[in-house]
Amino acid sequence: MVARPPLVVPLLALAGFLVLLALTVAGWAPLDRFDTAVSDTFRGYGDTSPRVVDVLRIATDVAATVPFLVAGLAVTVGLAVRGGRRAAALCAVVTVLIPVLWGLMHWLVHHPRPEDGFVVITSNGFPSGHTSNAASAALVAVLLLWHRLGGPARVLIVALAVAFAAFVGLTRLALLAHWPTDVLGGWLLALAVVPLAARAAPPPAGRLPAPDRRPDQAVR
């Protein structure tokens, strides 16, 4: 069974993403200054901590496109084999749609990455693909496990999901692979797309309740 988040969650995320996209395309000066200030802070830290940067170069690839696609395909097949058609469909849609969406925006939206970063990437950066992948995978895990877990376990899985998505986003900032705007865009994209995909499929039909029989009805 797949949990279906309230519709307000993806709608607010989508609205936030579209506003952020518009400000990014317009080159809104306050947002540019914020991006520069945060990136300069991470640059200063990276310059003095080269070993940490080396570790982050490896760790960040857990959310690269190839691992994301491979994991998504494996989970989709596993769920389908076990009969979880709705869950498998959600995994399949997210696995395909998320890379397509951020890839399309990298192609259409001119937003160069920070110069002289600790990793060399020449494509546009809005939104962050690694961050979108990580946040999407984390959200799918929460939605798939929500009905299987009790209260404390739900808190734990949500905490782990948030920590994973936040960690990958921070690696992209620390490596100067993306601006903060790109990372925020990745989080918002996932928060908009995954819940909408989960809500797209109707809930499994339950058994219809037996009609009430009046006491004075005779059984014939």
Tell me the pLDDT tens digit for each residue of 61-76. 999 999 999 999 999 9
Scanning the chain, the segments in alpha helix (DSSP H) are: 8-26, 29-48, 50-59, 65-81, 85-108, 129-145, 151-174, 180-200
Would you kindly state where each structural domain of the chain is located, as residue ranges? 8-200
- Whether the pLDDT of residue 87 is over 90: the answer is yes
- Whether the pLDDT of residue 172 is over 60: the answer is yes
pLDDT band at 139 (very low <50, low <70, confident <90, very high): very high
- Whether the pLDDT of residue 219 is over 60: the answer is no
Please give the average per-residue pLDDT across 158-187, as a whole number.
Answer: 98
Which of 208, 204, 184, 180 shows the shortest CA–CA distance to 87? 204
56 to 119, 158, 170, 199: CA distances (angstroms):
10, 23, 10, 35
The CA distance from 106 to 92, in Å, is: 22
Four-residue CA torsion sign, 115, 119, 122, 126: negative
pLDDT band at 83 (very low <50, low <70, confident <90, very high): confident
Domain 8-200 bears CATH identifier 1.10.3470: no
Residue 14 burial (CB < 10 Å; 0-12/13-18/19+)?
middle
Model confidence, pTM: 0.90
Which of 103, 98, 184 shows the shortest CA–CA distance to 139? 98
Mean pLDDT (the chain, rounded): 92
Q: Could you count the other beta carbons within 10 Å of the beta carbon of residue 219?
A: 4
